[in-house]
Amino acid sequence: MPAAQGGIALGEFASGWARADHVPLMRTLKTSEAAALLNVSPNTLRAWERRFGYPKPRRTTGRHRLYTHGEVTALRDALRQGLSISTAVSRAREALSANTDTLVGALAGFELDRADGAMESALALRSLERSIEEVLLPSLDELGERFGTDSAPWAFAARWADGWLRRAQRLAPPPVRRLAVLVGDATRNELDPDALATRAFELFCGRSGAPALALPIGGLAGLSDIVASLSPDAVVIAGGHDSDEAVAQWTYRVRATAGPLPVVLFRRSMLSASIGAAGGQVLGEAPFGAHRRLLALVGGRLPELRDDASLAMGDHDDERREAEA
């Protein structure tokens, strides 16, 4: 677990994705949700907490329990093969700590082979999506916390992670949906922490059959040709490095070619009011949840999104053109 997660203030959310400042990663479950995932009653879950100390929930300011999704799913998997709750708890604890610790240790020691091995081990216990969200990204977060994201160890780890994600992307199955996603890459470069989440997001889209093409926000020349060729169903602005102005210009160019596409934001806060026309709905911070929400959006079954993020570009298109004129 990233070190900074220990200081999360839990007051402002119920279940969903726990986030502290700049530390977005931990998915949480309410007692009823965790109990449903494990097919037990909430009372049983509380009895396990008393007897085994696992899963260990955090508390909201209202004293409600919030369970870590990773802990609950690790226990669920271990229960399927266990002879007792104790052994399942023991196995779940090991499974959770081993891969993350190994990966952090390998990357901190600049051992690429061992880092690859840690991910292989993680994949033996989890799906690719969970391995990325529960092992790879938290490990990188921990390294970022430990060394800083402007350090050489971070650069080493981020480059390895970027390469690992790209390799996984090449192994994604061929697209089966008639959907295409255009990602406006507003991250600084491959060393930007948001860039790794964006790679993971692209990977998840590709694996679910909706290929995502990432293009830099700064590249306007020839953009119309690519957009016309790709015919995207949705545009995702990923990352918070590039300015709102640059994002607005890029988005306007895309929409001028492809028409009024839905524009959603990933790992980027709402755009400023002056160019809010380019802003859209905000996907979650975690890549897997974000990709699920995007598919729901494109498929017309949008689950609840943040109310404050309900701007659609079409509503502001005319205002924007007037402003630009």
Partner 1 sequence: MRPPRALRSVPLDERGVALVSFCGHCGTRPEPSALAAQPSRVCGHCGLGLVLHAGGDVAPRRDQPFLVVDATLSVCAVSAAAEELLGIDETQAVNKHIADFLVPADANAPSAEHLLTLLIEVAGGSGEPRTTVVRPRHEFGVRFRARIGSCGSPQAALLVLI
Binding site for partner 1 (CB under 8 A): 38-41, 43-44, 47-48, 51-52, 79-90
Q: How far is the CB of 238 from partner 1 (least distance, A)?
A: 39
Q: Which helix (H) or strand (E) holds 66?
A: strand 65-68
Identity of residue 275: I
SS3 76: helix
Q: How far is the CB of 253 from partner 1 (least distance, A)?
A: 52
Cα R_g (the chain), whole angstroms: 21
Identity of residue 130: R
Count of positions (residues) in the chain: 325
End-to-end C-alpha distance for the chain, whole angstroms = 50
Q: How far is the CB of 77 from partner 1 (least distance, A)?
A: 12
Q: How far is the CB of 92 from partner 1 (least distance, A)?
A: 13
Beta-carbon contacts of residue 77 (< 8 Å; ≥ 6 apart): 92, 95, 125
Using the minimum distance from each CB to partner 1, give the nearer residue, 53 or 148: 53
Q: How far is the CB of 191 from partner 1 (least distance, A)?
A: 42
Using the minimum distance from each CB to partner 1, give the nearer residue, 51 or 166: 51
Identity of residue 258: A
> Could you tell me which residues are beta bridge partners of residue 66?
30, 58
Using the minimum distance from each CB to partner 1, give the nearer residue, 48 or 250: 48
Residue pair 4/23 in contact (Cβ under 8 Å)? The answer is yes
Beta-carbon contacts of residue 120 (< 8 Å; ≥ 6 apart): none
301/303 Cα distance (integer angstroms): 6
243/249 Cα distance (integer angstroms): 10
Using the minimum distance from each CB to partner 1, give the nearer residue, 85 or 313: 85
Using the minimum distance from each CB to partner 1, give the nearer residue, 80 or 178: 80
Using the minimum distance from each CB to partner 1, give the nearer residue, 42 or 216: 42
Q: How far is the CB of 40 from partner 1 (least distance, A)?
A: 5
Using the minimum distance from each CB to partner 1, give the nearer residue, 82 or 117: 82
Q: How far is the CB of 87 from partner 1 (least distance, A)?
A: 5
> Could you tell me which residues are beta bridge partners of residue 20?
23
